[in-house]
């Protein structure tokens, strides 16, 4: 059976390189859930004391579970490639019921997202799960190779894994790109995908010119 395991997150997810927070899919059962890993880099912890922010953990979990699993199911159903799919649709974050943070994740500290699908219908998915810090030197691909649905639902990991975060009922929805554009009159601030064109350069030039004019007034 085809799964996300072995697929490149850069292909599966619509996010650009600076916002892509999934490295590998380690285990996946299409209608059940997924296990994915990520290691925060210098950019991820910049200006935040070397610590990976909790809000980015929520984003990483959302990408790994809600977006990846939803896109997988929908592309399998429609027969579209991921590239073709994201030319038509994208995903929006709708909400999350609650989050509990137990430990911090630091720069270059690998973690795994264990996500369980609670509900999926009409491109809307709700999922819950946990994020664990991975023991140093562990081969995560080998460890999760023979993982199972039962172990996923019970968060059955070795004691060497450290619980970092619990996430309950994170909700995301796939919508048409034209609806995104119609509801966002200034796409340069809210484009969610590298596949949706947005005008940053013109806005930056406008701001630059305004700053130059202000500087001239101060000098005068």
Query: For residues 100 and 165, what is the distance between their CA atoms, to the nearest angstrom?
Result: 6
Q: What is the pLDDT of residue 79?
A: 96
Cut 0.75: pTM above it: yes
Query: For residues 210 and 128, what is the distance between their CA atoms, to the nearest angstrom?
Result: 46
Query: For residues 42 and 51, what is the distance between their CA atoms, to the nearest angstrom?
Result: 10
Query: For residues 77 and 79, what is the distance between their CA atoms, to the nearest angstrom?
Result: 6
Specify the range with the lowest mean pLDDT, choosing from 5-9, 53-57, 108-112, 200-204: 200-204
Cα–Cα–Cα angle for 20, 192, 19, nearest 5°? 20
Residue 187 confidence class, pLDDT cut points 50, 70, 90: very low
Q: What is the pLDDT of residue 85?
A: 96
pLDDT digits (tens, 9 = 90+) for 16-67: 999 999 999 999 999 999 999 999 999 999 999 999 999 999 999 999 999 9
pLDDT digits (tens, 9 = 90+) for 196-211: 443 434 444 554 555 5
Return the CA Rg of the chain: 19
Residue 191 confidence class, pLDDT cut points 50, 70, 90: very low
> Pick the residue with more confidence: 107 or 180?
107
Query: For residues 68 and 28, what is the distance between their CA atoms, to the nearest angstrom?
Result: 10
Which top CATH class is 9-183? alpha beta
Q: What is the pLDDT of residue 213?
A: 55
Query: For residues 85 and 87, what is the distance between their CA atoms, to the nearest angstrom?
Result: 5
> Pick the residue with more confidence: 220 or 31?
31
pLDDT digits (tens, 9 = 90+) for 79-93: 999 999 999 999 999
Q: What is the pLDDT of residue 70?
A: 97
119-133 exposure pattern, b = at least 16 Cβ within 10 A, e = fewer: ebeebbbbbbbbbbb
DSSP state of 40: -
Mean model confidence pLDDT for the chain: 88
Residue 119 confidence class, pLDDT cut points 50, 70, 90: very high
Report the Cα 22 to chain-centroid distance in Å. Answer: 7
């Amino acid at each position: 059976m085809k799964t996300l395991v072995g697929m490149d997150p850069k292909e599966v997810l619509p996010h650009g390189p600076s916002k892509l927070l999934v490295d590998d899919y380690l285990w996946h059962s299409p209608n059940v859930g997924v296990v994915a890993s990520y290691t925060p880099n210098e950019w991820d912890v910049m200006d935040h004391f070397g610590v990976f922010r909790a809000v980015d953990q929520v984003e990483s979990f959302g990408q790994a579970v809600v977006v990846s699993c939803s896109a997988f199911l929908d592309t399998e159903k429609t027969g579209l490639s991921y590239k073709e799919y994201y030319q038509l649709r994208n995903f929006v974050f709708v909400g999350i019921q609650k989050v509990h943070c137990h430990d911090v994740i630091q720069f270059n500290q690998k973690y795994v997202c264990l996500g369980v699908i609670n509900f999926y219908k009409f491109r809307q998915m709700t999922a819950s799960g946990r994020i664990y810090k991975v023991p140093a030197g562990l081969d995560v691909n080998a460890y999760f190779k023979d993982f199972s649905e039962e172990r996923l639902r019970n968060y059955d990991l070795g004691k060497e894994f450290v619980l970092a975060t619990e996430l309950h009922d994170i909700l995301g929805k796939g919508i048409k790109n034209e609806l995104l554009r119609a509801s966002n009159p200034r796409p340069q601030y809210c484009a969610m995908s590298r596949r949706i064109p947005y005008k940053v350069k013109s806005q930056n030039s406008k701001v630059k010119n305004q700053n130059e004019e202000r500087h001239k007034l101060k000098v005068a």
